Every structure is written in structure tokens, then in C-alpha cells.
Amino acid sequence: MRSTLLFASLATLATVLAMPASAQTKTAATTASSAGNAITASWTGPYGGVPAWDKVKVADFPAAFQAMMADAKAQFEAVLSSKAKPTFANTIAALQKDTLDARVSPIWGVYTSNLSSNDVRAIQREWGPKLSAFYNELTLDPRYFVRVKAVYDQRAKLKLDDKRMRLLTRTYEDLVANGAQLNPAQKQELIRIETSLAQEFSTFSNKVLADEEKYLTFTSEADLAGLPADLVATMKSAADERKVQGWVLVNTRSYVQPFLESSTRRDLRKTVFETFANRGDNGDVNDTNATIAKIVALRAERAKLLGFRTHADYRMRDTMAKTPAKAMELMMKVWPAAVARVHQEVADMQAIADEEAKAGSGPKITIEPWDYRFYAEKVRKAKYDLDQNELKPYFQLDKMVAAMFDAAGKLYGFKFTENTGAVPVFHPDVRTFEVTRGGKVVGLFYLDTWARTGKRSGAWMTTYKGQDHFNGNNYVLASNNNNFAKGSAGVPTLVSVDDASTLFHEFGHALHYLSYDITWPGLGTTPRDFVEYPSQVNENWLLTPYVLQTYARHYKTGEAIPQALVDKIEKSKTFNEGFDTVEYLSSAIVDMKLHNRAEPPTDIDAFERETLAEIGMPKEMVMRHRLPQFNHLFSSDAYSAGYYSYLWSETMDADTWAAFEETGNVWDPATAARFNKIVLSTGNETDRAEAYRAFRGRDPDVNALLRRRGFPIPAGGAAPAK
């Protein structure tokens, strides 16, 4: 998923200028104090300048933050203190200019997400609240709203083009929604809430990261029963890295999932599952339940202050779905069919377990959550004669990287060429690739592949520098960050089909931003329930015949994946779809129910249990992200009341893939060109629903999503998503 690396969201449009006048004269002194600071230094070198990662010192961040705030303050003050009549140029456009934040924020984001340490976390605890307060005070200054409103009120007479009008309208509406019309006392209350939230976000993310840095150590070969050789080698490397004897299983998904799929030690599967599922929920120093309770209470308080019924109403005002009810409507169209499919899947697994017990080759059990992945693989083998470990030798990570680059070239004309030491990186494992299109250099792509201590779990994309014509930013610096388990030196890393899909997904985000051709940076951020759409579309090309035949080659023999195996993959496309859908959708529904209420719960564990019982969560499963470790929701506001967005985006994605399929050629250049021009390149300079309709000729067809997941289509079909 895409990571937004900001200290305080300028989309919440925060106001000071309560900063004393004497502080306004400190810019020069602050700049001087940051001299020699690689964090604030201008980016030099190729691609319009790149971060000097090799010169960054953690101790320099406080001075960098001070310089960044002084720079932002100076820009705002120059606009707000102007005696000239407010115009689009001197008010709206003037605040579109890049400030020091454009250099400091990306570097800080890497240190909090990819290179966290005790020193980084200490700075995060101290400066997160300070920066939140500063930016909220800055943009809540009454002089700012007065100037914006003056321009907005004259909009009918200004003869602005569509993009300028959209930027003006969105700026005004965001200011209103985020408290610009509050009285001074209410504004101070809003700043208090935002500052407290920043502190709690930092606390939550650091606690979860601390739990994920824990690991299980196995000292007997008997503990490795059933595990594939590549996982054993990876666990051995993890043990060597930590200088412990035996084999280490790190408490992250890339280690846990293959263990649960293959370990024949049910007792250890239970231990591994519970250790992973209970991150942040162990009643110890890293327990996050009290932190979550504070966050949801603060969010409810803020929503009420801003005139919204709930936090969900507040967060969804600028989305495609628009309302919590609309998001819930889509989720509940899919939920019953997904639960029904899970019950079928469990019945299939229980039948195999019962047969094994009857034959004396297995224990007499009832399927539990730590059994699901293990017995699902037995069902896959029985139904489709397909074994995940049979596929893995054909999915070599480096080959999949080459595949995603090739697909981007065939579809959109991008070419990726690896650099050899010419560009600084923040870790020796990071690779960089020059990106060209039509023979013209358009950007730089950073690939940070491996899990490591201090790196948050999951996979994400971010941009260090985006494209916009207004500031003359012609090069995009984009990164993909994954947490694949690194194997032994010299041994190719093999990945599951799911991992390869994640690789293509995150790369889809990068392609989206590399495709940008926008003028205004303020129209570069798309709605939350749109942002996952381009990345989910990109997953579709992974299992196409061209990619499989060209890149799915055995890591030892180099032979292409056999057609018989490809046929099995195709036949099993909807296998375990109940599990995948319920695992995700339960998280999205609980998120929405948590935030779509005026009175927040105080007992988070009880709320989770009761909500899952209410919606009929199968007892053999848990949410993909339980609340105590749900970084999407509680390390920032980014996905709060917005985790539904993956399903909303997939509705568009499934229908978009159908558009390619309808041409008879999923690589159809004309369709790819239209998709790129209308959808990918335009950022948010046009309404996203209108952009979709311009591409597809209509609203998305929800039935395409149901067909993809192998679920029955309701009588008369499901209504379009609007």
C-alpha cells in the first residue's frame, strides 16, 4: 500500500502565526545552524538531484526540522502578510511552491519506516507532536482563510481553467472541513487534539514494531518438520544475523505464512500463529489497546468539533464512496458469499483431517486458525494436484522483478536500467534503476527488498520526489519497499505466487506516479479509495501466459514452467478465495464500525470480539490485521475508516481488467494508452469517478468483482459502484 510520509497532514490544513514575531527573524540563524546538514542540503547529482543518503546523520534531524519549520513559516508569512488584493496567483499558486519539507520529509520517512532505531524513535516521540502542532497552527491562521475565501468568492469572474478552478475549490473546501471557520478557542482545541494524536500514532507504531522485532528460536531439527528447504535456509540466515544457535522465525508475515502452510508440527503452528496474531495484545509494555482507545476517542472528539457526526463521516468527505453507508453497502454485498465460501473451505479441510485420523496418519482434530493454511494446502493438492512448493522453484524473485519491468515496458513504454553505484542509497541492499520513456529519462526507482531489524512490516510504495510542472519537477524518485525473507548468500530467493503478486502490486503504485503529467502538486494526491486501484490493476499481468512463459523459469534448470502447471494455476484461481476475502474484509468492516459511531469504545479487545461475532466471523479465522497491530489505522489517519478502499478499488480493477480482456489481447496497446492517459497520468486534476467513466464509458460493474472471486452474482446482478 502507498505510504504517505508527512509529519502532519497538510490535507488536514492546519494556523499560527501565533508564533511570536521574534521567531520570524530566526530563519537565517536556523539555516546557519543546519549548515553541513545533509538532510536539509539541496539535492544534487542526476535526476534533478537525489538524497545524499550516505551523508545523513540521525542526530541532524532536530536541526533539520527547525529549518524546515522556519522555511514553511517564511513562505506562509510572505503570502499572508501581503497588502496586495488576494488573487489566484499570489495566494493559491504561491503556496504551491516547494519548501524544505519536500526534502526533509522523504528522508525522515525512510528513517521511521526502513531504518528505525532507538534514537530515531526518541526523536519521533519528541518531534511528532511538535511538527503536528506547528503545521496545524500554520494553516489555521485566520489570515490564510480570509485570503482563500476572497479568491473563492470571486471564482465566477476569474476565468480560471478547469485545473486552477479545481485547485481553488478543493483548497477552500478542505480548509472549511478542517476547521478554518472555528473560533480561536476551538482552533486551539483542534490543535491540542491533533498534537495528541501525533503522539499516540508514534506510540502505537513503535510498540508494534517492537513486537515485530521479536522472534522464535528453534534448536532441534524436529522443529523443522515439513518446512521447505528455502524457508529453513532463510531461518538459518536469520539466526546467523542475530548470532544465535539454531533457526530463527521472525515475527513478520513473510516468515510466518510459509511456516503455517508447511509445518507438520501442529503445536508449533499454534505457537507461531498466536505469537503473530497477538502482536500488540499481550498485556505488556508493548500492548497497544490503551493507545488505540485514546486514538479513537481523540478522533471522535475532533469529528464533533469539526461538525461531523463521526470520524468516518469526516474522513470520507473526499472519497469516491462519499459516505460510510456507501462503503458498507459494497462490503456487505460481498461478505455473505465470502463467509459461505469459508464454511465450504473448512468442510473440505475437515474432511481431509478426518480421513487422515481414520487412517492413522494424522491426529483427530477440529480445524483451528493455526490449521487453516496447512490444511488448505492439502485441499489444493487434492482438488487441483497443485502444491505451492511445486510452484516456488519457478518464481525466482529476480526474475519476477525483471518481469514487472518488462510488463511496464510493453504496456506503457517504460524502461528500467540498473545503476551500478552511481546513486547514494540508504542501505547496501537497496538497488536503483534509471527510468526512461521514449528515450527520455523520467525518474529513478529505488527497490528495498529485504526484511531487516528496524524496518516496519508489510510492503509499501512512496515517492521521494513527485512530478509537477509548476515547480519544474521533471523527474520522479519512487521507491518500493518489501519484506521478503533473505536467504543464504548466493542462493536465489524463491517467492510464492502471493509474494510475486505483492511485488507487482507495489510496483503498480510506482508506475502510477511515474506516469504523472500534472501541473499542480496540490492535485497530485488521489482519494484513498482510488489510490489502490492502479496497483491492483497491475497485479493482473503477473499470471499472463507471456510473463509465465518468459520469466517463470526453474531456478536450477532454467526450464519454463510446464503448461500443465500453468493450467493448474488457472483452474485454481478462485481457490481459497473465501479465506482471502474474509481475512481482508473482516478488517475493513471492523475498521468502519469502529469509526462510524459517535461514542467510541473503551475496551478495544471486547469491541473487536463483539463486532466479529455480530457479523458472523468464522471461528477458524482471524482478521488479516487485528486492531492491536493495525498500522493502517493507528500509525496515522491515512487508512482510518478507509480500509474498505481495497475492495472499492478492486471493483474498478476487476472491471478494468475486463476492458483489456474484451479486446482479445490483455496487452492491447490502445487500451493501455487510454488507461495511462485518462487515469494514470492525470493525478487528481480531474474527478476520479469522471476519469473512470471517461476510460470505461460507464461506472464500474460490481459483477466483475464477484465473478473474479468466484462468488455467485445476485439475481438481477449487483448495482454499479458509484
The rounded Cα 73 to chain-centroid distance in angstroms is 30
CA 709, chain centre distance (Å):
22
Which residues is 218 bridged to in the sheet? Answer: 247
Nearest CA to 597 out of 310, 297, 308 is that of: 310
What are the backbone angles phi and psi of residue 168, rounded to the nearest 5°? Answer: -60, -50
Q: Is 478 helix (H, G, I), strand (E, B) or coil?
A: strand
Q: Which of 77, 506, 620, 650 is catalytic?
A: 506
Tell me, yes or no, if 690 is annotated catalytic: no
Closest by Cα among 124, 122, 119 to 58: 119
Q: How many angstroms separate the Cα of 461 from the Cα of each of 47, 464, 679, 681?
A: 19, 10, 19, 17
**Coil, helix or strand at residue 460:** strand
**Inter-CA distances, 166 with 161, 174, 520, 680, Å:** 9, 12, 10, 18
Cα(618)–Cα(340) distance, rounded to whole angstroms?
9
Residue 261 dihedral angles phi and psi, to the nearest 5°: -75, -30
Q: How far apart are CA 310 and CA 570, in angstroms?
A: 44
For 678, half-sphere exposure in the C-beta direction (CA atoms, 13 angstrom radius) is 17
Cβ contacts of residue 456 below 8 Å, gap of 6+? 113, 114, 116, 205, 208, 209, 212, 631
Beta strands at 440-450 and 476-484: parallel, antiparallel or unpaired = parallel
The C-alpha cell at 83 is 497588502
Cα angle value 262/536/630 (rounded, 5°): 65
Per-residue CA distances from 234 to 158, 280, 445 (Å): 63, 25, 27
Please report, as a single letter, which amino acid is at residue 620: E
Q: How does 247-286 read in b/e, with b if 16+ C-beta sit within 10 Å?
A: bbbbbbbbbbbbbbbbbebeebbeebbebbbbbbbeeeeb
Rounded Cα distance, 596 and 606, in Å: 17
Residue 421 gets the label, from left (phi > 0), alpha (psi -120 to 50) or beta, of: left
Nine-digit cell string for 372: 487453516
- Confirm if 320 and 689 have CB atoms less than 8 A apart: yes
Q: Which residues are catalytic?
A: 506
